[in-house]
Amino acid sequence: MKGIKNLSQIITLEGVHKKGGRRPLRGDLCIIENGSIVFDEDKILWVGSQKNIPKEYENIPFIDGSGHILTPEVVDSHTHLVFGGNRAREYGMRLDGADYQEIANAGGGILSSMKMTNEASFNELFESAKERIKKIHSYGVGTIEIKSGYGLNIEKEIECSRVIKKLKEFFSPQIQIFSTFMPAHAIPKTWSSPQKYMEDVVYPATEQAAKEKLFDAIDIFHEEGYFGSKITKEYLEWCQSKDFAIKMHVDEFNDNGGAEMAHNYKALSADHLLCVGKRGIKALSKSDTIATILPGTGFFLGKNQAPAKELIEQGAKLSIASDYNPGSCHCDNLILIASLAAPQLKLNLAEVWTGITYNAAASLGLTKQGVLVKGFRPRFSLFRAKIIDEITYNWGHNLANSDLLAQAFS
């Protein structure tokens, strides 16, 4: 049993939890001033004001959290951080005027990361991803979703997922890793049709990965020129029949009905949503499928953003993730992305913090965390700040104190 005391604020999100993550307002953060928390390995035992610590906990070992804020653990629920090489040159081309699809047509884009990933060894992929994860953790992020999807053949997709499995074991329990299998990310030019690629790579690779228990969910890039509606539905039906959890990339370049599809197939999340239309917003408004926006991608590609406010107002559960990847968003810092997104997407602080904690965890099926209330899992983030507003106000500054957090669990 352990505790942290003298915390400037504890951001419990109790009200957010009561609302199931929909339409959060500042009051729903349910902030405790001058707080303390008591927990064991698996759960929170007590949370409250410093002066009310129950007698039974007075003599347990406490870490001094003076000058710090405790929040539910920040979760980055969408990354593609296992990749070889980089795409800096492509970024330069884009600034010179080429757009994402023109770059893809010229052999750049996802397929150039495929080439560089296939040239990298297991160890190179493991070591580079390990360093990326350490960096992400240093910003206060404790749970990270990682997708395969740059192998794009059976062997390399399996290898990348084994890399993710090894990362999971290496960082557990301090950092929790969620593995998503995504051979349906792009179609290498050597395949005559998407259908053939599905038959020869995606289905057999998914079957093999399932046998090895390499993933927690599957993902597919539902988009014209990538995986169209018919192919996507067939794959999702097959995945459902096998009880695989589903995540989806939807409505990024066009409104293709992807959000509706994600809802219909009970996906954990529908991600991107830059072009989601009225019908998609309506489908997500009463759905348990989390609407995950990736504002860093909009910034980096110079595109419009997803209609985040409208999604929230209609009742969708909104989450914010980084989409960290070598092409469309080479940014590992979710807190920075949240800082930039809040004013641009007109999000209040409760919406931002719900988006990077409670709803982000839910988009990975992690419903026992994301709220600091007795009985929930003790997964937290700690920041050097006096009030919650300071964290994203200091954009580009890293206020997380992961070392102190590690002490609390040592």
Q: Which residues bind ligand NIG (CB under 6 A)?
A: 80, 109-110, 113, 221, 249, 252, 297, 323, 325-328
292 binds, among Fe ion, ligand NIG, none (CB under 5 to 8 A by kind): none
The Cα–Cα gap between 218 and 181 comes to: 5
| Nearer of residues 324 and 353 to Fe ion, judged by Cβ | 324
Question: Per the structure block, which two tokens stand in for 149?
Answer: 């999807």
Q: Minimum CB separation from Fe ion for residue 179, in Å?
A: 15
Q: Minimum CB separation from ligand NIG for residue 233, in Å?
A: 19
The Cα–Cα gap between 335 and 340 comes to: 9
| Nearer of residues 338 and 405 to ligand NIG, judged by Cβ | 338
Which residues from 320-359 bind Fe ion, rule CB under 5 A? 323
Show the binding pattern over residues 151-190: x = contacts Fe ion (CB under 5 A), - = does not. ----------------------------------------
Residue nearest to Fe ion according to CB distances in the complex: 323
Any idea how long the chain is? 410
Residue nearest to ligand NIG according to CB distances in the complex: 327
**Bond prior to 183 in cis (omega within 30° of 0):** no
Q: Kindly give, in sequence order, each residue whose CB lies less than 8 Å from that of residue 9, ignoring residues fewer than 6 positions away.
A: 31, 32, 33, 35, 69, 70, 386, 387, 388
110 binds, among ligand NIG, Fe ion, none (CB under 5 to 8 A by kind): ligand NIG
* 279 contacts 329 by C-beta, under 8 angstroms: no
Question: Per the structure block, which two tokens stand in for 338?
Answer: 């949240």
Specify the 3-state DSSP secondary structure of 65. coil
Which residues from 268-327 bind Fe ion, rule CB under 5 A? 323
| Nearer of residues 69 and 160 to Fe ion, judged by Cβ | 160
| Nearer of residues 16 and 334 to Fe ion, judged by Cβ | 334
Q: Minimum CB separation from ligand NIG for residue 182, in Å?
A: 9
The Cα–Cα gap between 230 and 24 comes to: 36
| Nearer of residues 8 and 153 to ligand NIG, judged by Cβ | 153
Q: Kindly give, in sequence order, each residue whose CB lies less than 8 Å from that of residue 273, ignoring residues fewer than 6 positions away.
A: 250, 251, 252, 259, 280, 291, 292, 293, 306, 307, 311
| Nearer of residues 139 and 221 to ligand NIG, judged by Cβ | 221
Applying CB under 5 A, the residues found at the interface with Fe ion are: 323
